Amino acid sequence: MSRWISSATIVVAALALGACRQTAPRVTYHANIAPILDQQCASCHRPITGNPNDPLCVAGAPFSLLDYKTVKSHANEIAEATATRAMPPWLPESGPHRFANERRLSDAQIALIQRWVDQGAPEGETTKKAALAWPDGWQLGTPDLVVTMPESFTIPARGGDVFRNFVFPVPSSPTRYVRAIEFRADNPKAIHHANIAVDPSRLARRLDRAEPGPGFAAMPEDQVVNVYGWSPGRVPVMESADTAWTLDEGSDLAVQLHMIGGAAPETVRPSIGLYFSSTPPTRTPVVIKLESKVIDIPAGEPAYVVEDSYVLPADVDVVSVYPHAHYLAKQMTGTAVLPDGSRQTLLSIPQWDIRWQDQYRYVTPLSLPAGTTLQMRFTYDNSDRNTHNPARPPTRVMWGPKSSDEMAALWMEVIPRQAGDVARLEADHVERALRADIASAEAQVRARPEDARARNYLATKYVQAGRVPAAIDELRRALQIAPADAEAHSNLGSVLLSQGNIVEASAHLRKAIQIAPNDDRVRFNYGNLLQASGRTDDAIAEFRRAVQLDADNADAHFNLAMLLGPRQQLDEAVAHLRRVIEINPRNADAHRNLGVALGLQGRLEDAIRHDRTSLRLQPDSASTRDHLNALLKAAGGPVPP
| Peptide bond preceding 52 in cis form (omega within 30 of 0) | no
Tens of pLDDT along 49-63? 655 555 556 666 788
| Peptide bond preceding 88 in cis form (omega within 30 of 0) | yes
Question: In terms of domains, do 263 and 296 share one?
Answer: no
> Would 633 be classed as within a structural domain?
yes
Residue 132 has what pLDDT? 60
Helix (H) or strand (E) segment spanning residue 49: none
Question: In terms of domains, do 397 and 290 share one?
Answer: yes
Residue 16 has what pLDDT? 39
Q: CATH number for the domain including 248?
A: 2.60.120.310
Of 81-85, 223-227, 509-513, the range with the lowest mean pLDDT is 223-227
Question: In terms of domains, do 558 and 637 share one?
Answer: yes
Question: In terms of domains, do 349 and 374 share one?
Answer: yes
Of 157-171, 544-558, 591-605, the range with the lowest mean pLDDT is 157-171
Of 17-31, 276-290, 554-568, 587-601, the range with the lowest mean pLDDT is 17-31
Examine the pLDDT at 5 and tell me if it is beyond 50.
no
Question: In terms of domains, do 105 and 157 share one?
Answer: no
Q: Answer with the residue of higher pLDDT: 357 or 566.
A: 566
Cα atoms in the 13 Å half-sphere on the side-chain side of 150:
17
**Dihedral sign, CA of 555, 559, 562, 568?**
negative
Question: In terms of domains, do 41 and 86 share one?
Answer: yes
Q: What does DSSP assign to residue 406?
A: B
In DSSP notation, 468-505 reads HHHHHHHHHHHHHH-TT-HHHHHHHHHHHHHTT-HHHH
Examine the pLDDT at 626 and tell me if it is beyond 70.
yes
Q: How many angstroms separate the Cα of 12 from the Cα of each of 6, 9, 94, 162?
A: 10, 5, 44, 68
The residue among 438, 471, 494 that closes a domain is 438
Tens of pLDDT along 308-327? 999 999 999 999 999 999 99
Residue 255 has what pLDDT? 95
Residue 104 has what pLDDT? 84
Question: In terms of domains, do 109 and 160 share one?
Answer: no
Residue 226 has what pLDDT? 81
Residue 192 has what pLDDT? 81
Structural domain span for residue 584: 551-641
Report the phi/psi class of residue 591: left, alpha or beta, with left for phi > 0 and alpha for psi in -120 to 50.
Answer: alpha
Question: In terms of domains, do 309 and 430 share one?
Answer: yes
Residue 19 has what pLDDT? 41
Examine the pLDDT at 554 and tell me if it is beyond 90.
yes
Backbone φ and ψ for 194, nearest 5 degrees, come out as -145, 135
> Would 168 be classed as within a structural domain?
yes
The residue among 412, 438, 464 that closes a domain is 438
What is the number of structural domains in the chain?
4
Confidence of residue 292 (pLDDT cuts 50, 70, 90): very high
Residue 542 has what pLDDT? 97
Residues 6+ apart with CB under 8 A from 596: 565, 607, 627
Tens of pLDDT along 456-492? 999 999 999 999 999 999 999 999 999 999 999 999 9
| Cα 510 from chain centre | 40
Residue 4 has what pLDDT? 36
Question: In terms of domains, do 577 and 631 share one?
Answer: yes
Q: CATH number for the domain including 297?
A: 2.60.120.230
The residue among 242, 277, 312 that closes a domain is 277
Q: Answer with the residue of higher pLDDT: 406 or 18.
A: 406
Question: In terms of domains, do 113 and 232 share one?
Answer: no
Question: In terms of domains, do 268 and 301 share one?
Answer: no
> Would 482 be classed as within a structural domain?
no
Distance CA 199, CA 220 (A): 10
> Would 456 be classed as within a structural domain?
no
> Would 333 be classed as within a structural domain?
yes
Q: CATH number for the domain including 555?
A: 1.25.40.10
Residue 134 has what pLDDT? 63
Distance CA 252, CA 167 (A): 7
Tens of pLDDT along 365-381? 999 999 999 999 999 99
Question: In terms of domains, do 253 and 310 share one?
Answer: no
Identify the CA nearest to 356 among candidates 219, 487, 260, 471.
Answer: 260
Confidence of residue 1 (pLDDT cuts 50, 70, 90): very low
| Cα 527 from chain centre | 36
User: What share of the chain has pLDDT > 70, as a percent?
Assistant: 92
Residues 6+ apart with CB under 8 A from 186: 268, 269, 270, 271
> Would 128 be classed as within a structural domain?
no
Residue 11 has what pLDDT? 38
> Would 477 be classed as within a structural domain?
no
Q: Answer with the residue of higher pLDDT: 243 or 382.
A: 382
Full 3-state SS string of 547-599: HHHCCCCHHHHHHHHHHHHHHCCHHHHHHHHHHHHHHCCCCHHHHHHHHHHHH
Examine the pLDDT at 6 and tell me if it is beyond 60.
no
> Would 462 be classed as within a structural domain?
no
Identify the CA nearest to 525 among candidates 579, 545, 456.
Answer: 545
Examine the pLDDT at 146 and tell me if it is beyond 50.
yes
Angle at 45 between CA 39 and CA 49, to 5 degrees: 110
In DSSP terms, 273 is beta-bridged to: 146, 182
- What value does the CA radius of gyration of the chain take, rounded to a whole number of Å? 30
Examine the pLDDT at 7 and tell me if it is beyond 70.
no
Of 10-14, 29-33, 269-273, 282-286, the range with the lowest mean pLDDT is 10-14
Question: Whole-number mean pLDDT of the chain?
Answer: 89
Examine the pLDDT at 131 and tell me if it is beyond 70.
no
